[in-house]
Structure 1
Amino acid sequence: MGRSAGRDREGNQAEGSAVSFAVELKDVRKSFGKTEIIRGASLSVKQGERVAIIGPNGAGKSTLFNLISGRFHASTGDILVNGKSILGRKPFEINRMGLARSFQVSNLFTRLSVFENIRCAVLWSKGYRYSFWRFLADAKDANERTDEVLKMIKLDKRRDVLAMNLTYAEQRALEIGITIAGGADVILLDEPTAGMSRSETTRFVQLIREVTVGKTLLTVEHDMGVVFGLADRIAVLVYGEVIAFDTPEAVRANPRVQEAYLGSVLAEAQASGAHV
């Protein structure tokens, strides 16, 4: 009989046991004062899977992202990334465990070029630290990785443009580049297509598909066309609870999901002529 999976006292996967999931939430709860926002959420995301988290406003989606990325700490329960508990860890420590995230609001160095923005993320991931006497032109490995990321996000021809002078869609693409630059294998994207036109959204979804090949993706997204076109599985969060976690087809047909959220969203989308 094979060795059974177990965990050490720090919650890490026991040596010799396979890591089945990239992200695991186990009965996670989060309260702010007397107000409970996340109410016993459980979720297991497979490695290499694309998962969309949907739900009405106030459902706790952003809070859940903040818990997974370490900005907030769970009140109770456990969260694991690549088989290791992140409880008590700081965001930069979780990042070093292989998780990176983007945010709803642009978070760029606006007065640096596209190339310099990406290189900032690459330098740290490759072990470079702040140094006044180091010439960045000599950091060949970092510069090569930066060029590689620029090609992936299709901004290589805009490498010398200041981030502040990019279009909105280009800024969002740059954020994706910064997120993946360090080589993280778990990517969290918070409403990546918000504010985009339909044509921009279509191109951006394709970009997300390309840059996350082989990686695990969790995304919060309100555009049902994006959700159904991108996700392998969908987690529906309502009042801090995961009420469904299944394939897009199964979620679409789930009576509980339709009653709690999806029915009204689909009706609105169909009335506006959007494809879902």
Structure 2
Amino acid sequence: MNSSANSTPALAIENLHKSFGKAKIIRGVNLKIGKGERHAVIGPNGAGKSTLFNLITGRFPPTSGKVRLHGRDLAGLAPFQINRMGLSRSFQITNIFPKMSVFENVRCSLLWSKGYRYSFWNMVSRSQDLTDAADSILEQINLTARRDLPAGVLSYAEQRALEIGITIAGGANVIMLDEPTAGMSHSETDYIVELIRTVTEDKTLVMVEHDMGVVFGLADYISVLVYGEIIATGRPEEVRANPKVQEAYLGAALEAEH
């Protein structure tokens, strides 16, 4: 990580384990991710990458070990509580409200951070502040022209862009993206990569991604997870040159793209 030894990391994972019955999925992961860092987690299918994401975000409780967000232990916190502390994530499968408009999807994701919460008597349609904030995010994710369309009619890449907009709408400073370019064409991937680069400026980004072009183009640091253990962490050029990584994963992954 790029922060100094005395700086509190954005995320600190300490001796993290997760078992499902007798199956050990995460086996003693230790990782520190600095504030403002773009960090990719790569590895073969079944390595435990999505499980690790679910442990960090509170969807699964760890069998043992700790996850800290800006120094605060996340043990026992529900996903919505972790989100309100400044961590937001996307999923492998796009999560949007397909029958609501693109604008309404983004506006919904802003409600808590804008103080609406459980106020049933507030008419959100009358809030210019809320409307302006939603329109600003639509501009960031290049969906202003699609503003009033049902989200379900967007192209696949546009739906992923909308989900990224929803992910950043609450003002989180740690953004976790699970395979953001999965299933995309080269042109769609280029669009999403540039979008991610823009909207995560000055934020901490953690992503799981199989496309090595995306990983080496975006990440400041890379961690390689194999069978629930991190076998290497470093800058892209260090990871690319690591013999253990080449043997376990990277060589085959790069060959698959050519």
Tell me the TM-score range normalised by the shorter chain.
over 0.9
**For residue 83 of structure 1, what is the aligned residue in structure 2?**
71
**For residue 12 of structure 2, what is the aligned residue in structure 1?**
24
Secondary structure, counterpart of 1:260 in structure 2: helix
AA matched with 1:190? D
Q: Which has the larger radius of gyration?
A: 1
Say whether residues 1:144 and 2:132 are aligned partners: yes
Counterpart contact for 1:243–1:257, Cα < 8 Å: yes
Say whether residues 1:93 and 2:60 are aligned partners: no
**For residue 15 of structure 1, what is the aligned residue in structure 2?**
none
Extract unaligned runs of 5+ from structure 1: 1-17
**For residue 95 of structure 2, what is the aligned residue in structure 1?**
107
Instruction: Note the alpha carbon deviations across 1:204-241, whole angstroms, 9 max, x for none.
Output: 10100000000000000000000000100001000000
Q: 1:206 aligns with which of 179, 190, 194?
A: 194
Counterpart contact for 1:51–1:233, Cα < 8 Å: yes
**For residue 3 of structure 1, what is the aligned residue in structure 2?**
none
Counterpart contact for 1:232–1:248, Cα < 8 Å: yes
Alignment of 1:112-191 (within 5 A): 112-191=100-179
CA distance in structure 2 between the partners assigned to 1:127 and 1:165 by the alignment = 30
Comparing 221-230 and 121-130, the one that deviates more: 121-130
CA distance in structure 1 between the partners assigned to 2:90 and 2:133 by the alignment = 19
Secondary structure, counterpart of 1:124 in structure 2: coil
**For residue 60 of structure 1, what is the aligned residue in structure 2?**
48
Secondary structure, counterpart of 1:127 in structure 2: coil
AA matched with 2:54? N
Counterpart contact for 1:113–1:163, Cα < 8 Å: yes
1:174 Cα deviation from its structure 2 partner? 0.2
1:26 Cα deviation from its structure 2 partner? 0.4
**For residue 36 of structure 2, what is the aligned residue in structure 1?**
48
Counterpart contact for 2:116–2:122, Cα < 8 Å: no
**For residue 220 of structure 1, what is the aligned residue in structure 2?**
208
Counterpart contact for 1:19–1:82, Cα < 8 Å: no
Extract unaligned runs of 5+ from structure 2: 1-5
Counterpart contact for 2:49–2:208, Cα < 8 Å: yes
Q: Sequence identity of aligned pairs in percent?
A: 61
CA distance in structure 2 between the partners assigned to 1:185 and 1:36 by the alignment = 31
Counterpart contact for 2:37–2:204, Cα < 8 Å: yes
Q: 2:58 aligns with which of 47, 70, 80?
A: 70
1:67 Cα deviation from its structure 2 partner? 0.5
